[in-house]
Amino acid sequence: MSSEIVLRLAAPQDRPALIRLMGELHDFEAAIEENRAGSSAAEGHLDWVQGEIERLGGVTLVAEMGGAVAGFLCYTFEEDPGTFVRPEYRRHALIWDISVVEEARGRGIGQALLRAAEERALAAGVSEIRLYVLEANARARRIYEEAGYRNYERFLSKRI
């Protein structure tokens, strides 16, 4: 696999690779969080996220290595409701999903996808990008922190 990373917008022919990557992400999350559905939900979730991208605006970015899809990231543009956030900070980009094939991890693909999303968000007039990460996903949290992300809010859960 060539080490050159090529970033581009997702195209219809990427759908099988996106479903596979989403499935890998879902299986990983199901192993660390009991409420996750696993890869059986990948295609439906991808369809739902793509619908949100169409509704809210945003994109799915694809990273290729050696001519093969090696990762993806999708985000939308959102706005905080109400007046509790100052107007200039309400509109932001929200990363929904990011996944890199296992054999290409550690080669900078995730960082390249994050940088590309940040650059595109800035070009669209957005000065903040957010994401959710499972608390148990220590590796992802470390990667995001190394990329400059910080805790913004804590979303707590209690199973009752």
Residues 63 and 98: beta-carbon distance below 8 Å: no
| CA–CA dist 160, 158 (Å, integer) | 6
pLDDT digits 0-9 by tens, 62-119: 999 999 999 999 999 999 988 888 888 899 999 999 999 999 998 999 999 999 999 9
| CA–CA dist 97, 113 (Å, integer) | 11
CB burial of residue 141 (10 Å; 0-12, 13-18, 19+): middle
Mean of the per-residue pLDDT values for the chain?
Answer: 94
pLDDT digits 0-9 by tens, 140-160: 999 999 999 999 888 888 889
| CA–CA dist 65, 107 (Å, integer) | 10
In a domain, residue 133? The reply is: yes
Which structural domain, as residue segments, surrounds residue 140? 5-146
In a domain, residue 141? The reply is: yes
In a domain, residue 151? The reply is: no
In a domain, residue 101? The reply is: yes
pLDDT band at 52 (very low <50, low <70, confident <90, very high): very high
CATH number assigned to the domain comprising residue 86: 3.40.630.30
Give the chain's radius of gyration (CA, Å): 16
Number of domains in the chain: 1
